[in-house]
Structure 1
Amino acid sequence: MTIDIPEPIKIWSQFGHPILMWVLLGLTIYALYLGIQWRRTRTADKDLKKELLPKDFRTRHYQLGSLLLALMVLGNIGGMAVTYINNGKLFVGPHLLIGLTMTGMIALSAGLSPLMQKGNELARYTHITLNMIIVGLFGWQAVSGMEIVQKILDKMS
């Protein structure tokens, strides 16, 4: 069974994944900021803590992290689906493999939340480490993704 997708949709759908991923990169950096602020709040002296707690960095970091997890999984699946629909295959290379690795890492990182809420420092440091690696890989993905977008644009012209 094949589904006939109109050509304009096939062509323009290729840009949904890169746009979403650039938005996610920005949101990831903001989540990093919120996480740093929450850690600063947790470790602050009494007076500074009193000033920082109303800003609710913890809840904002947690909610944004949940959104990032969901959108990264959906964005990864969507990117693979659009690639398959337009090419009849996936291109197994560094961009795909790093993207899948990042998706697994963000799931592991989010899964550490219950342990961190109970004060587990190993879980906290593992969460921080995984997320710093994700940010670094995300930067690389942005560059390699733009190379892929350039190839798509070259094919279109």
Structure 2
Amino acid sequence: MVRSCILVAALAAGASAFTLPSTSISTGHKTSHVFLSENHRNTEPIGQFDPLNLSNDSSTRSASTAAIAAATAALLSSPLAANAAGPDWGIFEGRTGSLLHPTAMFGMAALSASTALLGFQWRRQRTLGDEISALKKTLPDLGGAASVSDALAAAQSAESVDSVLVSKLKAALPVESEINALTKERKDLATAGPRDKHFSQGSLLLFTGIAFAIEGPLNTYARAGKLFPGPHLYAGAGLVVLWALAASMVPAMQKGNDAARTVHIGANVAGLGLFIWQITSGVPILFKVIEFTKWP
């Protein structure tokens, strides 16, 4: 519409240029406008065709140019032209949409800590079996007894007491207690199911994290018309990369690859560090958002 208005103004300013000139015949000091006969057309000069009015003097052309420039400036300064600078995002430019990002970030920080705890619980459950097996190998021969306590009771009640065996069984009592405690811990962890919870929360964190990592810059651009590179933006970008790296290790981890587990854990620990940095650098931005936005 703006271009159409400019074109109309330009046509109006030069409208006179498209009026065909009348033909004049000079007789003495008087000039009369007549229609030319066939002979006059062939013998006397006529006014030349000048649709752009280029034969006028420079003052006339300057006036036309000034008129077009003034019309263009008026159109560009109108509310229509101002609204064309960018779309109206409505509630997403207000305080409600702007506070959605920091609120989600605080929630995901808590979710990250919870997911990390579940991951270490699953790792603990998985490695407890090896630890229990290693402790059982240090126990003396129990002679078919179900526990060290039962073997000790049998050795002490025998007709000929084997003092060496009794000493070994007594020394093994703390080891048996430790084995029992680890077995109970493993059973409790298996009941809690940290493996499935870790996977579910990690998937949710990956989706929401990437979604709000994109939503944050879009909201900033909607409000300010530009982005502000700095620690907060860099930490968020690095965090998304680390989330993707950790997720990419899952298939290899499921096949028992210890190197993939190490990379997965390292990426998530580094991600928690970046999350702390992002929150620290984002608090001042949050205060500015509250200051320069209004509800809703």
State TM-score, norm by structure 1: 0.93
RMSD: 1.6
2:235–2:277 Cα contact (<8 Å) kept: no
Are 1:3 and 2:87 counterparts? yes
SS of the equivalent of 1:44 reads helix
Residue 107 (structure 1) aligns with: 244
Residue 22 (structure 1) aligns with: 106
Are 1:35 and 2:119 counterparts? yes
Larger of the two Rg values belongs to structure: 2
Residue 95 (structure 1) aligns with: 232
2:210–2:240 Cα contact (<8 Å) kept: yes
Aligned length: 156
Deviation at 1:104? 1.0
Q: 2:222 aligns with which of 78, 85, 96?
A: 85
Residue 44 (structure 1) aligns with: 128
Deviation at 1:155? 2.8
Hey, what's the Cα distance between the residues in 1 that align with 2:266 and 2:201? 18
Unmatched tracts of structure 1, length 5 or more: none
Deviation at 1:51? 3.2
Deviation at 1:3? 2.5
Structure 1 residue runs of 4 or more that deviate by more than 3 Å after TM superposition: none
SS of the equivalent of 1:91 reads coil
Hey, what's the Cα distance between the residues in 1 that align with 2:281 and 2:206? 21
Q: Percent identity?
A: 37
Equivalent positions of 1:45-84 (< 5 A) are 45=129, 47=183, 48-84=185-221
Deviation at 1:156? 4.2
Bigger helix fraction? 1
Hey, what's the Cα distance between the residues in 2 that align with 1:99 and 1:114? 25
Deviation at 1:28? 0.3
Hey, what's the Cα distance between the residues in 2 that align with 1:103 and 1:41? 28
